[in-house]
Structure 1
């Protein structure tokens, strides 16, 4: 986060002011870290500490908890319960005593306060006091002990990119909050204790867990009585920053927290998102000063056709009836924009001198695996266009300095999820409201290509100048 803070300051993008920091930056996470309560009373051989997410003023429920424990003994099959015995069950049904600690337990929250996060499954259903001798025996036996940190996560909806990334963000916050950072030098493994589908971001979670393997507890339960020397426990992310920013209200804040998470994930997935200015020795192009951009229209036609009669009311109301008319008009707008470039007509005194041209493509996200196909195409996208929905969330995989997003809020007015996320990461965002007339969309696309091309050319010029100065261009 310190590196990202310095970069935001250096490149002159939207600054992080004090109020924004308290809501969405270091101040936000520090509030989470400082609001903690001990579940284990002092004097036992185990610890169990929970940190409360900052208050969202949304009723009696507290914000999401992040908990960490030492010397926790788990019977993982008993903890999962019906996830094991009834395939298709989404969430664990723990038996009493399936998680044991060597301490007297104090439950500072009511079941109702934590029920919708599933934290109650730990604190009320599973957790029990065990004799210190039993816990110590398990934790002294190397055959029954996991000594490196383990992050237990219950995933809410891993097939929805928007919600699943919330869990990635909560992991990042947990690593920031966790007081024993020296232990993280060993690495940390991810353990999913749910019956949910494996979902989109498996490759990202694998890289987070490296050098260990990500583990789905339903497929590979630990042996009964396994001692976890350092267990980190994430609750369901119902009340994290996503709900904290109130999607019904537009935010103009820059979030140091989310900007840092996005930059971190870009680095983790760097092989699928190669930097445009890094080539193997000897590689070059004949037109080194030309910048190639991409306009990507995100379609849902295949998904909608395959799920006729199965979609809920809000999915149905977002469906476009004229996408077949929109796509060719957008494609023609890109070709018309390119035709006015000096790259195409160098003898025309009125041609556009910015050395940028755009390709146009449609992309049905569900037809591509997230890794590597989706990431590779999104990393090349300069202008992302999409109808409101989780597909717009893929704006996080763009490069904010050289990209833009256009959202069509078709029958979805007042849902500012993706406006706010774009603001958080410094990505230029354009709201078309419910307008889906092809010519109106094409006019907005032309305007956005004009502004985006300038930024693309400026960044390319800076990087090429640096490469030439170093003698590597």
Structure 2
């Protein structure tokens, strides 16, 4: 009973699904797999659903989906797949072990075929919407006969028309047409997928016994997934099929796939597409196989096979208007699974902060070489893409071919150049409100002026270059500059005359150091220049801070700045791997880290209207032309925060964006806004916990002002969610600098080189 109670804490089950507690406990998505790493679970999609469900329930406010949401998108959705099981060949006892592929003797090589479906909402009046998921054991296939004939019709010619006997089983097949006719609940048995696989299949037990015997040369023991795509030209439908492969494996949780993985075999006759990269990753460690170009030998026996097909009804192509507000653990788990297939980390993991992977910073070769600890030069600032998905080139070709008719023509945008300029403007205006960028703009002038009198010839520059620069400047500007530095010269003299205070630290802090009088005077000059540029005197940071005594505008009284650090001592600053060349301020940690919360407290005294965020955005035109590979496209999408585009397959990229930290803006012409297909991307965003907004427009021109406002709202959401995830993961927000003066040296570990123990102890 305690186990049952624990289960109820971890899982929300809607009312219509009544299952015994013991059966629930047997489900993998209820186990402690949620605590395991993503990468080790790629062959167990149920583990991804487990973790997504656990996070939703543990967040503030909990997770209480409605009955409708649960049945179409929640854990009951997976249970409904399991419960839809219909045996069309053989009898598989429900108590049979999942990996029952004994077949130790020819007479025991019996075949079984179980088929499943999933709850779906038909898109409009579609007569082709269907989901078919079958699992077979001891199936014999003649690939050449399977692909020998061609169907008539544009929409069906890519589906195989197998010769009778190309698929053989050792069991009696059910007449699915008759079964669907007499039981309306089995209408899903009547679809092209079942017709292809089982319409001309024959019972041939001797052939199966021979091909499936343990010593057979044509026996395949690796679990195999035969994929039949519905539409090769639509990226959204490709995502739909892979979403159902994920759901199928998550629902059945087959032990053989968890142990050995699954080889993906493309079984249709569609041409190859770039999305096959994803199927190839699903197939790892086994090689992706295209049956039409690489058929199996005749009479190959597949010990364990899965057959997947979905058309306008999969969880990745959900047009149901009743679920456009539903968040889904299944879809969120699917998104994490897709991202993990490409090596993208979990953006919301509650783990200790770790350095970025070598591949993220350098490339896959560095990752393969085992390089660890690589960091970007400036860490802590998150840069997210705002991608405009252009359809202009595709629609241009369609127009020239007179192929853009009907509803397709409602997705054209005439003022695309103005739209891109508007999105770019929205990004620039949003970024300009950042406290970090405003501080940068405020201090550029003072830093430049400081460089004129304090040039450090690191690269061999002349020591009198500052004087030469001033001489080359017009006399009026030089005189003004000299007057502004009068107070600074006096300050420098006083500082140089003050005796330095030395502090003794234990060996474990040996990397901490001291700054010279010259470095300290540079810091005071920087403070004075920044205070002057902001109209007052400040303490502890760049930019003027309002003082109670209201310092005069000409800098009077600024010579009294002491420049003390956090502990009150003068002249000392923490350093790491280099002197750093600067003084410690209240927001610094060591000499190469900045505590953003303290920095923003100072900014509030200067400009309380700036945006306190470490997230910035950049505009990207996502035309994704033919010369840009699918993998290259995804590298852009993985770092995208806001996806903007008219209704089209490109918006399905949203499944690869970070769940709960992204936004999708779907531009809809008013003539298209009421079409059910618009719900596909509403459901996608809502299921992932992402921001979504319809941007409506009339005719063929988009209102740039309306779009700009929507883009800014989307960026607000993304920045807030990204920062919340950072705070959960790291506890604090920091900026980190790694350059020629700010770095940590690399040493072998004590385990690798025991003699280094003393050296490590002194660090």
With normalisation by structure 2, the TM-score equals: 0.56
Find out whether 1:438 has 2:704 as its counterpart: yes
Report 1:419-458 matches (<5 A): 419-434=682-697, 436-458=702-724
Distance 1:152 1:229, change over 3 A: same
1:190: Cα distance to partner? 1.0
Counterparts of 2:661 and 2:209, CA distance in 1: 56
Separation (CA, whole Å) in 2 of partners of 1:35 and 1:321: 48
Question: Displacement, 1:136?
Answer: 0.7
Distance 2:696 2:338 in 1: 30
Partner of 1:416: helix, strand, or coil? helix
Partner residue of 1:26 out of 75, 81, 100? 75
Q: Trace 1:76-95 onto structure 2 (pairs within 5 A).
A: 76-82=143-149, 89-95=157-163
8 Å contact 2:691–2:717 — kept in the other structure?
A: no
One of 184, 187, 191 as aligned partner of 2:261:
187
Q: Does 1:391 align with 2:654?
A: no
Deviates more, 1:415-424 or 1:341-350: 341-350
**Structure 1 residues 267-306: aligned runs within 5 Å:** 267-270=340-343, 278-280=356-358, 281=372, 283-284=374-375, 287-306=378-397
Q: State the distance in 1 between where 2:337 and 2:324 align.
A: 23
Structure 1 residues 44-98: Cα deviation after superposition (integer angstroms, max 9, x where no partner): 82111112333758899895231111111111111112359x9994110111111
Instruction: Give the SS at the match of 2:610.
Output: coil
The SS at the match of 1:375 is helix
The answer on 1:324 being equivalent to 2:417 is yes
Q: What residue is the counterpart of 1:413 in the other structure?
A: 673
- Give the whole-Å Cα distance in 2 for the aligned partners of 1:129 and 1:144: 19
Question: Who is 1:49 aligned against?
Answer: 114
Shift of 1:437: 0.6
The Cα of 1:427 is off from its aligned counterpart by: 0.8
Counterpart for residue 134 of structure 1: 207
Cα 1:11/1:106, change in 2 over 3 Å = same
Confirm whether residue 357 of structure 1 aligns to residue 357 of structure 2: no
Q: Which runs of 5+ in 1 are unaligned?
A: none
How far residue 258 of structure 1 moved from its aligned partner, in angstroms, is 1.2
Equivalent position to 1:152, from 216, 226, 239: 226
Matched, 1:2 2:93: no
* Change over 3 Å in CA distance of 1:51–1:109 after alignment to 2: farther
Q: Judge conservation of contact 2:387–2:644 (CA < 8 Å) in 1.
A: yes
Alignment of 1:329-348 (within 5 A): 329-346=422-439, 347=543
5 Å-filtered alignment, 1:228-267, equals: 228-241=302-315, 245-249=318-322, 251-267=324-340
CA contact (8 A) 2:663 2:718 kept: yes
Deviations 1:240-269, CA, capped at 9 Å, x for gaps: 3357x5445552111221111111111111
- Residue number in structure 1 paired with 2:597: none
Aligned to 2:294: 220
TM, length-normalised to structure 1: 0.88
Q: Any idea what the Cα deviations from partners look like across 1:181-204, whole Å, max 9, x if unmatched?
A: 235412211111111122232222
- Compute the displacement of 1:155 (Å): 0.8
Q: Is contact 2:146-2:167 (8 Å) kept? A: yes
Cα pair distance change 1:121/1:101, threshold 3 Å = same
Supply the distance in 2 between the matched residues of 1:421 and 1:187 (Cα, whole angstroms): 27
Inter-partner Cα distance in structure 2 for 1:188 and 1:291? 36
Q: Is the 8 A contact 1:37 1:108 kept in 2?
A: no
Structure 1: distance between partners of 2:626 and 2:60: 38
Counterparts of 2:271 and 2:167 in 1: how far apart (Å)?
A: 24
Measured in 2, the distance between the counterparts of 1:285 and 1:314 equals 47
Q: Which residue of 1 aligns with 2:138?
A: 71
Which shows bigger deviation, 109-118 or 250-259?
109-118
How far is the alpha carbon of 1:274 from its aligned partner?
9.5
Q: Quote how far apart the aligned CAs of 1:174 are.
A: 2.0
- Give CA-to-partner distance per residue, 1:400-435, whole Å, 9 cap, x none: 333212111124202211111111111111111236
Change (3 A) 1:399 1:136: same
Q: Conserved in 2, the CA contact under 8 Å of 1:273 and 1:379?
A: no
2:137–2:302 contact (8 Å) kept in structure 1: yes
User: Matched residue of 1:365: which SS?
Assistant: coil
Answer yes or no: is 1:207 the counterpart of 2:466: no
In structure 2, distance between residues paired with 1:233 and 1:303: 33
Shift in CA distance, 206/333, structure 1 to aligned 2, threshold 3 Å:
same
Q: Deviations over 1:355-388 (max 9, x none)?
A: 3322112110244545321111111111111111
1:38 to partner: Cα distance: 1.7
422-431 vs 200-209, which deviates more? 200-209
Question: Does structure 1 retain, via aligned residues, the 8 Å contact 2:159–2:196?
Answer: no
Alignment match, 2:240: 166
The CA deviation string for residues 114-155 of structure 1, in whole angstroms up to 9 with x for no partner, is 44333112222x21111x333211112431111121111111
Distance in structure 1 (CA, Å) of the matches to 2:282 and 2:176: 32
Give runs of aligned pairs for residues 371-382 of structure 1, distance below 5 A.
371-382=630-641
